[in-house]
Amino acid sequence: MSKFLFILILIGIPFHSFSQDLDRLILNNEYDKALSLIDSSLSKNRNQPELYLKKGTILQRKFDYAGALFSLQRAYQLDSLNITTISELADVNSSLGNYRQALPYYQALYQADTTNIINTLRVSRAYFNVKSYKEPYRILLSACKRDSSNLYLNKQLALSAMRTGHDSLAIALFNKVILQNPSDLSNFSNLVLVYQKKENYSKMTETLEMAIQFFPEETSLLLRLGNAHYAKRVYSKAIPPYEQYLSKGDSAPDVLKNLGISYYYEKRLKEGINLLDKSLMLKLNDPVTGLFLGLCYKELNEIDESIGYLNFAAKIAVPYYMSDIYNQLGNIYIQKKEYKKSVELLKKAYRVDTTKSEILFKIGNTYDVWQKDKSQALRYYNSYLKYPKDSSEMHQKLTEYVLERKSKLGK
């Protein structure tokens, strides 16, 4: 009996020594020697899944992901139940960008133990990589019920909630993880996107202002804050972030234009002209810039300059802006008391955009001032009254004026 055991021990010594030598080489980062030892052993016996696994692991460390994938696939073919092999296959496919190939392996790891937080987060990230959010939302929500304190889990759940329309949960979770870790810019950015989707302007700008406190050098935040205020036409609040953005060296023509327009609405006309000129030099064929340069000069009573820029804008404008440009030109010619030219331009403005009923009023009023014969004025006044309009204060005042004027004319 003892002799038999002795023989078994002697037989086992070479493999034990091989395994020890291989592990020592790997531990000491002597990867080339370890690979030579593995290849030598595999040349004698190809059916050793554990060696293919080790070879794949070594090749990953050498950043030879293609070679690692080949070895790990061979290990999987020989032993498809080995959890370590499945895990390595998942990771090496992800490293290669093979996200759809990686997903089944991550799914298998998760299904092996659905309570394992590491595999829960790994499979969720794998779903994110293929732009799929419904399943990770379900998985992460279940995990969060077991542990709601994990920062990364809360972040991933917030992201999947945002992508699947669970906005209230996404907002609560993003606010929570921001409090836990305000150094992660992506949480601020995603929270802003949710507020933007819900059209919650005050919370969106509040979040951007908070983010700027933590990331004062992040110019994209200044730009987003300026754009948010600009989109809501709160020009006084759009100005500071735009000014800060430009002070950091970027001179994008659209920012120059938006800030110049904001200056116009805040009556800072010369500053507006300065920036709009710079914007036009960078983006030569922008009708909006030309329009607001014309408006700035109009406010400064520099009529010839105003007409020049408005005519320039009219020549290059797309239809969306043409009505506004002709409308403003018409206003200027009214100031110059060139009523015939004004009416021509206002009619062009209305033809381009027949939804702007106030132009009908303006044409009628110009005829009323210009001609003794009031038939044309009454025609356009009546057209204005018949046109469907909203109940804004402006239209109420114009309607009252028209009715009063018709009464005086006895019509």
Residues 112-135: b if buried by 16+ CB within 10 A, e if exposed: eeeeeeebbbbbbbbbbbeebbee
Q: Express each pLDDT in 101-112 by its tens digit.
A: 999 999 999 999
Q: Which amino acid is at 218?
A: E
Residues 6+ apart with CB under 8 A from 339: 333, 366, 367, 369, 370
CATH number attached to the domain at 251-356: 1.25.40.10
> Is the pLDDT confidence value at 318 over 70?
no
- Report the distance separating Cα 102 and Cα 82, nearest Å: 16
Q: Specify the pLDDT at position 22.
A: 86
Q: Which amino acid is at 231?
A: A
**99, 123 contact by CB (below 8 A):** no
> Is the pLDDT confidence value at 7 over 60?
no
> Is the pLDDT confidence value at 361 over 90?
yes
Domain borders along the chain are 12-97, 251-356, 358-411
In the three-class reduction of DSSP (H, G, I as helix; E, B as strand; rest coil), residue 356 is classed as coil
12-97 matches 251-356 in fold? yes
Single pTM value for the model: 0.74
For domain 12-97, the CATH architecture is Alpha Horseshoe (1.25)
